[in-house]
Structure 1
Amino acid sequence: MGNRRRVAERRKTSPAVLGGMIAVVVGGAGLGVYALYDGGAAAEDGKHSASSTHKPVKTGPLSATEVRTTAERFLTAWQHGEVTQAAAATDKSSAAASLLTGYTRDAHLKDVTVAVGARTGAKVPFRVKCTVSYKGMSKPLAYDSTLTVVRRTSDGKPLVDWHASVVHPDLRDGDKLVTGESGTPPVKALDRDGAEVTAARFPSLGTVLDGLREKFGKVAGGKAGVELRVVRGKASTKAKLSDKTLLELSKGTPGTVKTTLDPAFQAAAEKQVSKRARASVVVMRPSTGEILAVANTDHGFNTAFQGSLAPGSTMKIVTSTMLFEKDLVHPDESHPCPKTYKLAGWTFHNDDDSEIKKGTFKLAFGASCNNAFINFAPKLSNSDLTKEAQQVYGLGMNNWAIGVPTFDGSVPVQSGAQMGASLIGQGGVRMNPLNMASVSSTVETGVFHQPYLVSPTVDKRTVAKASRTMSSKTRAELKEVMQYTATYGTAAKAMAGLGPDYGAKTGSAEVDGQKKPNGWFTAYRGDLAAAGVVQAGGHGGDTAGPIVAALLKMGG
C-alpha cells in the first residue's frame, strides 16, 4: 500500500475477533506507545496518582504523536475484540460500542486486518481487509476508511471523532451492516428501449437502482439472495436514503422493471455533468411526465432527485404565475425594479446593484431583477406563494410517487422579509432539478404532470395531482416572459439557436459561507423540459445553462 505502514502482531497465536472488531496489525512500537501514553494502562483505568489529579487541561492543536497514538489505541483495541476499550477511545462510546459489536454479530465479518496510511493533520486513513462469512458461504471484502482525532474540551484528551463512517464509508450515523438473506430481491432495470441499465453503464444511476430495488424488488418477480448490505437507520430513512448492497455472497434471481430512461439522453446527461464540479440535471417529457435522464457529478447522493437547495431566481416562474393570476401585473405593463428595496427591516439588492427605472415586467423577468418581484410583497398574504406552488405546480406536498425516493420541494408559509425573499427563491424555499424541470414542464403544457421514472401501471400507485390548472391566459403570459428570457434575457447565450418554441429562466442562489452562488437553469423546448444546478458554480446562465441547453438540442 505505498505509503501505508503495517505493524505486525507479535503474538504467536492470532487474536480472537470478538464483537465485530477490526484486527489491526500493530507492531511492538505501536503497542509500546499505547502503554506509555497518558500515564499508561493504569491511567486508562482511572488510577491516577495524587500528583496527576490536578494536571492542567491540555488545549490547542493536536500533535502528530497524539493523533497517531489515539488512532492506534482505537484500532488495536478493535483488533483484539476489546469493544469497550475501542469505544472508550472515541468521543461517543455508546454508539461506537453498538456498531463495533454488530460488525461481527450482524455483518458476520471476520479475519479483519487494517493497514494504516499516512496521517494528514488529524485525519488517519486506513484500508480494511476482511472476510464475509455466512452459512458456509464466504467472500473477501476490502475497503478504505478514515478516522479523525479531536481533543475533548472537558479534559483535553485526544479521542476518535466517532461517526459510523469510520467503520465503513457508506454508513451514516444510525445505519448498520447486516449479512443475511435479503428481504428484497434484486431487480434488473431496463431503459425505455429494453436494454439493461447498470451503474457501470451510467454511474449516476447507482442510487436510482438502489431505490428501484427497494420499491419494486418484491413486486417484480425476483428471488432474494444473500448479501452484506447497509441497513439504513432513522436519520437516513428520513433523508430518503435506500439500503445499499456492498457484497453478494449468492445472487438472487432479479425481477425486471422497465423505466422511462432514454439511453441517448442519459449518456449525454452523464457527459454534461462531468464537465462541472457538483452539477446535477434532469430531463423530462412535459406531455407525460416521463423522466428521460438524471445525472449528478457526485454519485453518492442523488441531488437531482433528493437535493434541497434554494432555487434562486428560477422560482420567479412560480411567483410570476401568482402575480398574473392575481392581476397584479402582466408582461407588457410598466413596472420598475429599484436598485434597493426595504422590507421588514431588510434591504434587498439586485445582482450587481442594477436597476430598471423605466421598463416592463417582462424586461425585469428577462433581466432577473429581484426587486421587481420583492416590491409586490405588501400586496400578498404570507401563504399566497405556498398555495400557488402546491395548487398549480404540485410542489411541497410530499406526495410525488415517481418510483424512487424524491424530495418534492418546499415553499413554507413565511412572513416579513423572509416572505419577500421567498418570491425570488431564497428564504425557506427549497428545490432540486427534478422540481424545477417539472415547473418548466407545467408552463409548457399548462398542466402539472407528476414526473415519473417507472410507469404507475407497474404497481398501481397513485401519482400526485394538482388541485387546479392555470388559465390559458396565464400560461400564455408565462411562455411570453420565458421566451423573452431565452431570446433576449439572461438565458439567451445558452439557448441560442433553440427557438422559437422555447422558454427559460436562470437563477443564482446565495449560500452562507459559499464564495460563489449555486447556478440554476430551467427551460423547455417543444416536448422537452430540463433543469440543472451547479453548486458553487456562479451565475446559472453560464454554468447550468450550457448543460441544460445541450440536452434540449437533442430534441431535434
Structure 2
Amino acid sequence: MRSGAKVAIAGGVFVVVAGGVAYGGYTLLSDDGGGSGSAQKRTQGAPARTGPLSADEIKQTSADFLQAWAKGDATAAAALTNNQSVAATALTGYRDDAHITDVVVTPGAPTGPVVPYTVKAQVSFQGKTAPLAYASQLTVVRGQSTFKPLVDWQPSVLHPQLKTGEHLVTGGAQNPEIEAVDYKDRPLTKDKYPSLGAILDGLREKYGAKVNGTAGIELQIQGDNTPARTLITLQKGSPGKLKTTLDADVQAAAETAVKRFGESSVVAVKPSTGEIRAVADNRSDKFPASLQGRVAPGSTMKIVTAAMLIEKGKAAADKPTECPSSVLWQGVTFHNLDNFSLDNKPFSMSFAKSCNTAFIKLVDDVDDDGALGKVAANYFGIGQDWKVGVPSFDGSVPASQGAETAAAYIGQGKVQMSPLDMASVAATAQSGRFRQPVIVPQSLDGRTLAQASPLPSGIDAQLREMMHITATQSYGTATVAMASVGGNKGAKTGSAEKDGQNKSDSWFTGYSDDLAAAALVQSGGHGGDAAGPIVAQVLRAG
C-alpha cells in the first residue's frame, strides 16, 4: 500500500481510509496528533511503567502494530516489536519479496496478552493475482530495557507456518513441480494424505528436476535448512511424475490410525524389499517423528538384544532362563512390570511377557559393552547412513558403561530409535536380512544404500518364533492388539520411561506376511494399549 494512506478499523477491520482511526471505541489520532506512535508519545515525561501489562496497553500496542503492518509501513511496525531489525526485514520482505498487497487485518478479542487476528490480502506477481487468507496471533510483552509494551516478534506473527530462518517469497517456484504417485501409480496429495506434506515437499526439492518437472509461479515459504513449501499457486508449472514406494491403501490406513491417539507416529515397510509403504504422524508440533524421531524404544529393542544373546550362545528360544521380579546390577535395581516373575521358563516366554530381568541378568555373561551396538549395525543396519530419499534418523546404539549397559538391553539408556528404525528391525527379523528402507527407488538417482550381513543361520527363525508367540499366545503382550491381524504374524511391545513424563512412551512393532510396521505414541502408556492398535490397523490394510 501507499505509505501515505490512512488506515481505519471499521467493525474491527483495518481498511484504507482518508481520515483517522478508531479501534473498538478506543480512538487513535491522525499523524498530526500522534498516529501510530501516539501511545509512546503520550507517555513521554511520565515514569516508565513496570509490572503486568494493562488491557489498554495490550489493545493499543496491538492496534498500532497491526495498523502499521496493514499500511505496509515496515519501519513503524518493527519499532513496535522487541526485535526491530529482524522484524523490519521480515515485514519489508512481506511487502517487497512476497508481493502481498491490499492487506486487511481483522483483530479478535485478546486473551490476556495474546491477540488473535485474521488476514486477507492479494498476492500479485507478473500479472498473476491470487487471494491470500489466514489466521494468526501476536503476544504483547513489556520491553526488558524500555519497559514499553511491545509485540513479541516471532516469524509466526506474519504467517502461522513461518519458522525461524524462513521467509515468504513470490516468484518462479524454487523447485519444479512433481506429481507424486504410489507404487501402483495412484496419486498422492497433501490434501488426501496430510502426513505426507513435508515428505512431498522434500521429494519435490530433491527430485523435481530429475523427473523433468517445470516450475510455476508460487507464494512459498523458503528457508536455508527446510524444503520450500507452497502456500499459493498463482500459475501452475508442469509436474514431473515421481513414483514412490508408498501404498495408497496402507497410507490411508496409517493416516486414520494415528488419529486415534495424540503424539503418535507410524511407519510401514515391506520386508522383502525395504520399500516404505506408509508414513503418518499426528503430533501437535508437526515434527515428522515417524522418520526423524530420536526416542528410547523400550522393550521393542529386545528383538535386537535377543539376536545378540542367541548369537553369543547365552540364550535360545527353548532354553530355560531366570526371570526374577527384580535384579540388582551395578547398584541399580531393575524391575519387571508389576514385579512379575517366571520360574525357569523358556527364553521365548520371557521374550513374550517382556521380562526385563531375564535380559539384564545376562549382561555379565556377554562381557562386551559394545556388543549390542555391533549386532544392531552388523545385522539390522542401525546407525548406518540410510539414504531413504528424504531425511531420516537411522538409529543409535552407542557403547555404554555401568547401569546404562543394562538399560540398553531393554531399550533405554542411550539407545535411540525412530518408528522407521523399529519397523525395519521387525522387517529384518521377518525376512532374515536387512534391506535399507527407501521411499523412492534407488534407480531414480543411483544412490548407495546401507548394507548389513544376513542374520546368522537359526537366529532369524528363533526371532520369528518368539515374535509369533508374543503375538498369538495368551501370555504374549502383543496378543490382544494383534488378534485382528491375519497371516503369518509376529510382534513385540515396548514401553519407555522418560524423565518429566507421567506415562511411559508406548511402542509396538510387528509384521504380517510381507508387511512390517512400528508405531510410537509418546506418553501413551503400555505398548499394547496405544501403539499396538495403530500397528494392527496398518497391517490389516496390507
The bucket for the TM-score relative to the shorter chain is 0.7 to 0.9
Query: How far off its partner does 1:88 sit?
Result: 4.1
Residue 298 to residue 333, structure 1, CA distance change in 2 (3 Å): same
Q: State whether structure 2 residue 445 is matched by structure 1 residue 459.
A: yes
1:56-455 superposed matches below 5 A? 57-58=50-51, 62-151=53-142, 157-233=148-224, 237=225, 241-298=226-283, 300-343=286-329, 345-356=331-342, 358-378=344-364, 379-397=366-384, 399-455=385-441
Match among 478, 490, 499 for residue 503 of structure 1: 490
Moved more, 474-483 or 432-441: 474-483
2:313 alignment partner AA: D
Q: Deviations over 1:35-54 (max 9, x none)?
A: 7999942478xx645xx37x
Kept after mapping to 2: 8 A contact 1:9/1:25: no
Distance 2:79 2:402 in 1: 49
Instruction: Verify the 8 A CA contact 2:13 2:105 in the aligned structure 1.
Output: no
Residue 455 of structure 2 is aligned to residue 470 of structure 1? yes
Quick check: 1:25–1:113 contact (8 Å CA) kept in 2?
Answer: no
Q: Structure 2: 5+ residue runs without aligned partners?
A: 1-9
Q: 1:490 aligns with which of 477, 487, 497?
A: 477
Shift of 1:407: 2.2
- Structure whose residues are more often strand by fraction: 2
Q: Following TM superposition, by how much is the alpha carbon of 1:528 offset from its aligned partner in structure 2, in angstroms?
A: 1.5
Structure 1 residues 73, 530: CA separation in 2 closer, same or farther (over 3 Å shift)? Answer: same
Return the alpha-carbon distance in structure 2 between the equivalents of residues 311 and 128 of structure 1.
Answer: 43
CA contact (8 A) 1:9 1:26 kept: no
Cα contact 1:30–1:69 (8 A) shared by 2:
no
When structure 1 is superposed on structure 2, of 338-347 and 435-444 the one drifting more is 338-347
- 1:125 deviates by 1.4
Q: 1:318 to 1:156 in 2, by over 3 A?
A: farther
For 2:18, the equivalent position in structure 1 comes to 12
Q: Which runs of 5 or more structure 1 residues have no equivalent in the other structure?
A: 15-23
| 1:447/1:469 contact within 8 Å kept | yes
**DSSP 3-state at the match of 2:322:** coil
Structure 2: distance between partners of 1:546 and 1:189: 29
1:217 Cα offset (Å): 0.3
- In structure 1, give the amino acid aligned to 2:467: M
- Asked if 1:31 is matched to 2:51, the reply is no
Distance 1:554 1:41, change over 3 A: closer
Q: Give the distance between the partners of 1:98 and 1:346, measured in 2 at CA.
A: 54
How many angstroms apart in 1 are the aligned matches of 2:350 and 2:85? 57
Please give the alpha-carbon distance, in whole angstroms, between the structure 2 residues aligned to 1:10 and 1:288. 61
* Count of aligned residue pairs for this structure pair: 527
Deviates most, 148-157 or 450-459: 148-157
Q: How far off its partner does 1:172 sit? A: 1.1
Instruction: Kindly provide the amino acid, as one letter, of the partner of residue 167 in structure 2.
Output: K
Cα displacement (A) at 1:199:
2.1
Give, in whole Å, the separation in 2 of the partners of 1:202 and 1:279. 16
Displacement of 1:26 in angstroms is 4.9
* Residue 512 (structure 1) aligned to one of 492, 499, 524: 499
In 2, Cα distance between the equivalents of 1:94 and 1:415? 49
| CA distance 1:80–1:26, change in 2 (3 Å) | farther
Distance across 2 between alignment mates of 1:552 and 1:511: 28
Separation of aligned partners in 2, 1:481 and 1:91: 59
Is residue 253–residue 541 contact of structure 2 (8 Å, CA) maintained in 1? Answer: no
CA distance in structure 1 between the aligned counterparts of 2:72 and 2:486, rounded to whole angstroms = 67
CA distance in 1, matches of 2:460, 2:304: 11
Mean Cα displacement is larger for which, 408-417 or 469-478?
Answer: 408-417
Tell me whether 509-518 or 315-324 shows the greater mean CA deviation: 509-518
Aligned equivalents of 1:512 and 1:544: distance in 2? 20
Q: Report the CA distance shift for 1:68/1:311 in structure 2 as closer, same or farther (over 3 A).
A: farther
Q: For 1:528 and 1:8, locate their aligned partners in 2 and report how far apart those are by CA, in whole Å.
A: 55
Change (3 A) 1:5 1:302: farther
CA separation of 1:456/1:42 partners in 2, compared to 1, >3 Å: closer, same or farther?
same
Task: State the distance in 2 between where 1:381 and 1:205 align.
Answer: 41
1:411-468: CA deviations, max 9, x gaps? 33333333333322223332222211111000111111111121111222222222x3
Distance in 2, Cα, partners of 1:130 & 1:136: 16
Quickly say closer, same or farther: Cα 1:156–1:273, change in 2 above 3 A. Answer: same
Question: Which residue identity is paired with 2:162?
Answer: L
Measured after TM superposition, the shift of residue 346 of structure 1 is 4.0
Work out the CA distance in 2 between the residues paired with 1:367 and 1:30.
70
1: CA distance, partners of 2:22 / 2:352: 64
